[in-house]
Each structure stands twice: as C-alpha cells, then as structure tokens.
C-alpha cells in the first residue's frame, strides 16, 4: 500500500472538473459524528454509516450536497460551497472512499497506522455510461422546453422561452404524473368518453387532449369538462374554439349532482366511459363516484380532498373502541377520518364490481401529498355472489364499528 495524502485527492478533483460525480465515504473507525461547520444541524454526536457528496446547481451556483446516513437510518442533507474531503476523512477515519463517475468507479481502500495513512486504489470501468447529474431531465410524457400552446395559455410555461414557470413546476409534475397513471390504465384500442368533474381551469383536461392527439395520435374520443364556475367554463370553451377542438371537447356549466350524461348521448362514442376528478372537495368526490357508477364507467381516476363528512360522526370518547387512543387526539382523528373515508369509498366500489388500487399522488403547490383512487370495472363473470356478500359483510362491520353512515352509501343504494 502507498502513502495517502491530500495531493492525491487534489489531483483527482482536477480531473473531475465539469463532469458529474458522486463520492461515498464509509467504514469509519470513529463512529461519532463530527461537525461539518458551526451551524451544522446534525452536530449532535450521532453515529454515522456513510456520507454521500455530489455537485448540484442551485440558482446557477455550484454547491455540494452532503447526505449523511446515521446508524438509525436517518438521513440529513446539507449544501456546502466546498468539499474539504481530506479533513473529513481524517476526522472520521473513513476506510473506504468511492468516486462514482459516468464511465468508471474509483475506490480508495485506506489503512490508518498511527499518524500515517496508506491506500490501495481500485478502478472499475462501467460498461454502460450512467447519468449522475442532479438536475437531469425527467422522462415526462409532456416534455419541458417545447412550445405547447395550451400550457402557455394556462400559464404553465413561458410564452417565448417555453420553460416551465418556477411557481408552476409542481403543477407541471402533477400533470405528468396523472398522465403516467392514465397511460398505464386505459385501453386505447376502444373509443373513449372522458368526463372531468370539477374540471376548474382544466389543466388535466387539456393535458389529456394533448396526450391523446399529439402523443398517441388518436381522435376516437370525446371529453366533457363539468364545473360550477361559469367563468372557468367560458375560459375553457374559448380555448376549445381557439384550438378547433369542437368535435371532441365541450365544457359544461353544471353542478356535479345535477349532471346527466344521457343528455349528451348524441355525441357519446360507443366505447368506454372514463371518469376523472382532481380534488373534488369533501362529498363532491362521492357525487363523482355516483355519476361514474350511473354511467357504468369502465375507469375511475379520482383524487379526493377535504374528507370532512365522517369527522363528526366518528365518536372519539368511546374508550371501548380499539382506536380510542388515536381518535382522542384531534389531528390523529382528522388523518384517520381521511383514511377511513377513502377506504369506505374503495370498499363500496368493490361491492359494485370495481377493482380498486390506491396510489400516492404527487402534491401540488397548495395541497399536501394525497392519494388517487384508481378503479376499473370488472367483467360480470369475475364478480361472484359469495365475494359480493363477503364485501358487504366487511362494509357493515366497518360501519357498525364506527357507527357511521357515509354519504356515498345513500347515493348508491339504488345500484346495490
């Protein structure tokens, strides 16, 4: 083994100039966490497993992100202006230093002997070039930095540079996440009738139109956007005219509860009905589900929010309830109420012959992380009488446990 000194690292860093890399420091002889600087939030003498370092761009400035994993598998992140790698190695006596580059790995195996350090060098070539960039381009269905007119009109991208606006990037990611789910769920070989309830400014509606027309090259669809806000409906219908979409798209000023899809039979395609809804508040989501069931929708994709309905029905002072110690705390009760509400929605849909999956949906700038209910109507032959009776028994047991009567049950009684 050869003597190890700071110049070796300095020479290596010179070679790394202007290329992405990642450094992993591990196998410390001194497990006590050392401070990275005086303001270090993790300077609390906790044991560490490893430290990972990589360059990142923040507001066009080069920084180095330190990710520190402690023995409790907690990760702390800090961004630094520079890397004092040799000092970090000395303080923690790391015995392994791994440099991950795009085309090869460089590993130092260190041995500490009194005041001296010795090393062995191992280089491994990567057959496939890997991308270590922090800000690498995501594989979005709707791409960044290209001219997409509806995104300009909806103030998602800049009208000349076509870059996603900073305050709209979460919305841009949300749109793409929804399209990923839509793409993997729907059978595009059939004609599609898509109903967006509570469409608002219709980010999702126009995204689906773009996806179907420009990415899938399809025209076998009709889309209906339904919302109670007339100004939003007028705005969206103006865009329909602007983009000459009248043959496929219409926006309707109507309350969800009063909407009747049969009024539009003359424009419906002979195919699958699809119901989508993003953040229909409280029982509005139940109304959306009832409309989907009424039209025998093949697919339901809805993201509920503000699940308040059952909150006051759930008794939080019953000490015989197995969940008493959860429900007696208001914030826990609120979270539990949301989970219970959406669990009941899924269970009712299963009773009605749908296969349900629950997916964590990406957050937007105003809404915390939430869930998407994905339901697909099963073939009649797959819905046995015994299975349906079992599901009804589970539902009644859940109702009796919490002494509740969900609004959705009252809406769909006629379909049972």
* DSSP β-ladder status, 272-281 and 192-197: parallel
Neighbours of 244 (CB within 10 A): 8
Lowest-pLDDT choice from 96-110, 166-180, 185-199, 364-378: 364-378
Write down the pTM of the prediction.
Answer: 0.69
pLDDT tens-digit series, residues 255-292: 999 999 999 888 888 999 999 999 888 899 999 999 99
| Per-residue model confidence (pLDDT) at position 38 | 42
| Per-residue model confidence (pLDDT) at position 269 | 83
Q: Could you tell me the two tokens for 9? A: 């690292």
Residue 130 banded pLDDT, cuts 50, 70, 90: low
Q: What is the CA radius of gyration of the chain?
A: 28
Q: Cα(300)–Cα(227) distance, rounded to whole angstroms?
A: 18
For residue 389, CA distances in Å to 16, 119, 309, 376, 415 come to 65, 69, 26, 20, 15
Neighbours of 269 (CB within 10 A): 15
Decide: residue 45, CB within 10 A, 0-12 exposed, 13-18 middle, 19+ buried: exposed
Lowest-pLDDT choice from 57-71, 150-164, 192-206, 384-398: 57-71
Q: Could you tell me the two tokens for 327? A: 């429900």
Looking at per-residue pLDDT, the higher value among 356 and 30 belongs to 356
| Per-residue model confidence (pLDDT) at position 366 | 44
Looking at per-residue pLDDT, the higher value among 361 and 20 belongs to 361
| Per-residue model confidence (pLDDT) at position 169 | 86
| Per-residue model confidence (pLDDT) at position 103 | 79
Residue 61 pairs with which residues in a beta bridge? 58
SS (H, E, C) 365-389: CCCCCEEEEEEEECCHHHCCHHHHH
Report, as an integer, the average pLDDT of 239-266: 94
Looking at per-residue pLDDT, the higher value among 72 and 173 belongs to 173
Does 397 score more than 80 pLDDT? yes
Q: Cα(249)–Cα(230) distance, rounded to whole angstroms?
A: 17
Q: Cα(26)–Cα(97) distance, rounded to whole angstroms?
A: 7
| Per-residue model confidence (pLDDT) at position 68 | 87
Looking at per-residue pLDDT, the higher value among 35 and 239 belongs to 239
63-72, 98-107, 216-225: which is most confident: 216-225
Residue 41 banded pLDDT, cuts 50, 70, 90: very low
Looking at per-residue pLDDT, the higher value among 373 and 279 belongs to 373
Does 220 score more than 90 pLDDT? yes
């Amino acid at each position: 083994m050869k003597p190890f000194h700071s110049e070796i690292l300095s020479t290596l860093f010179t070679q790394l100039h202007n290329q992405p890399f990642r450094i992993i420091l591990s196998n410390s002889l001194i497990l006590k966490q050392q401070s990275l600087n005086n303001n270090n939030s993790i300077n609390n003498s906790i044991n560490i497993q490893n430290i990972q370092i990589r360059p990142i761009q923040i507001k066009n400035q080069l920084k180095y992100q330190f990710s520190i994993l402690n023995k409790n598998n907690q990760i702390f992140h800090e961004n630094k202006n520079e890397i004092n790698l040799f000092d970090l190695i000395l303080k923690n006596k790391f015995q392994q230093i791994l440099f991950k580059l795009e085309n090869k790995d460089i590993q130092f195996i260190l041995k500490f002997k009194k005041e001296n350090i010795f090393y062995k060098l191992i280089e491994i070539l990567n057959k496939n070039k890997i991308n270590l960039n922090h800000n690498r381009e995501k594989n979005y269905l709707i791409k960044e930095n290209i001219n997409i007119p509806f995104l300009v009109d909806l103030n998602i991208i800049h009208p000349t540079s076509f870059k996603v606006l900073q305050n709209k990037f979460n919305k841009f990611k949300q749109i793409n996440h929804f399209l990923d789910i839509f793409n993997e769920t729907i059978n595009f070989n059939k004609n599609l009738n898509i109903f967006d309830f509570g469409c608002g400014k219709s980010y999702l509606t126009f995204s689906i139109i773009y996806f179907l027309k420009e990415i899938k090259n399809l025209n076998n669809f009709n889309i209906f956007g339904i919302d109670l806000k007339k100004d939003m409906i007028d705005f969206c219908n103006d865009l329909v005219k602007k983009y000459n979409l009248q043959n496929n798209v219409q926006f309707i000023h109507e309350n969800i509860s009063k909407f009747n899809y049969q009024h539009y039979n003359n424009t419906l395609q002979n195919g699958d009905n699809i119901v989508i809804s993003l953040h229909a508040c409280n029982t509005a989501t139940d109304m959306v589900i009832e409309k989907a069931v009424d039209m025998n929708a093949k697919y339901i994709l809805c993201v509920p929010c503000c699940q308040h309905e059952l909150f006051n029905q759930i008794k939080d002072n019953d000490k015989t309830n197995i969940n008493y110690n959860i429900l007696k705390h208001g914030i826990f009760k609120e979270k539990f109420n949301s989970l219970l509400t959406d669990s009941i929605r899924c269970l009712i849909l299963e009773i009605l012959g749908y296969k349900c999956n629950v997916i964590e949906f990406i957050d937007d700038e105003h809404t915390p992380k939430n869930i998407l209910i994905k339901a697909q109507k099963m073939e009649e032959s797959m819905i046995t009488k015994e299975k349906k009776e079992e599901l009804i028994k589970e539902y009644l047991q859940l109702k009796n446990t919490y002494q509740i009567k969900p609004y959705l049950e009252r809406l769909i009684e006629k379909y049972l």
